[in-house]
Amino acid sequence: MSTLTGARIGVVTFPGSLDDRDAARAIRIAGAEAVELWHGDADLQHVDAVVLPGGFSYGDYLRCGAIARFAPAMQTIIDKAKQGLPVFGICNGFQILVESHLLPGALIRNDHQHFICRDQRLRIENTTSMWTNQFEPNQEIVIPLKNGEGGYIADEHTLDMLEADNRVFARYLDVNPNGSYRDIAGITNERGNVAGLMPHPEHAVEPLFGPSLDGLTFFTSILASLAAGVRA
């Protein structure tokens, strides 16, 4: 697939967002225009896709992502995602997606009860989604991980459904850093336009900054999807 020049990808900033600038930089490096979106504004400015960045939205009060889920921007994103808008939630963004019920399950305190920051090996198991189509099947990558509430949990029925439908697109290798059930690091919705990932690909997109360039492929994947006219 060729990538799409002129694509506009929005990055939502919430109070407490930490990695919104990093996500915007990754989008620009991939070849798209990064559009700043504010949590309090329901207007998405006609973007082609949305990234919900990492950080500590609203100070992680109540539960991580629980307050951000009700932001005016999120109300529009929820509606548009159900219509096929591509949405990528990274770390806190993943937490917001599960709180919004755009993705199933929940993210809870790491099983060892400590914040963790490390370079993490992953295996990319689904290369058909809008956010992973430029990876090779079962490609192993290394990108940074940093979280305190990164443990993915769901009931057995939901876990079996995710596995059967090939919706687990990223899985931890070598070590499970947070107690996530079945080593799950990232999942998609049924249509494949919404994806949540706990590690941080935006910190692995350029030389000398991060352990690899592996994270860039998530951003070139969505550009390839948009260029090909892929619709969820």
Number of structural domains found in the chain:
1
Based on the residue annotation, tell me whether 91 is a catalytic residue of this protein: yes
Query: How sure is the predictor about 6, in pLDDT bands with cuts at 50, 70 and 90?
Result: confident
Max CA pair span of the chain = 44
Mean pLDDT estimate for the chain = 95
Q: Which of 91, 99, 125, 203 is catalytic?
A: 91
The question of whether 200 is a catalytic residue gets the answer: yes
pLDDT tops 90 at residue 63: no
pLDDT of 62 reads 81
CB-based contacts of 62, cutoff 8 Å, min separation 6 = none
Q: Please tell me the least confidently modeled range out of 5-9, 170-174, 198-202, 225-229.
A: 5-9
21 contacts: CB under 8 Å, gap ≥ 6? none
180-212 pLDDT tens trace: 999 999 999 999 999 999 999 999 999 999 999
In a domain, 2, yes or no: no
To the query of whether residue 190 is one of the catalytic residues in this protein, the response is no
Beta carbons of 39 and 15 less than 8 angstroms apart? yes
Residue-level pLDDT at 3 = 53
H helices present in 2-88, as ranges: 20-30, 72-82
- Domain holding 40, by residue range, is 8-227
Which of these is catalytic: 99, 125, 149, 202? 202
Q: Measuring CA to CA, which residue among 79, 129, 130 is closest to residue 100? A: 79
Instruction: Give the CATH number, domain containing residue 92.
Output: 3.40.50.880
Residue with tokens 């509430």: 149
Assign 221 a pLDDT band (cuts: 50, 70, 90): very high
Q: Considering the domain boundaries, does residue 232 fall inside one?
A: no
Residue among 39, 99, 125, 200 flagged as catalytic: 200
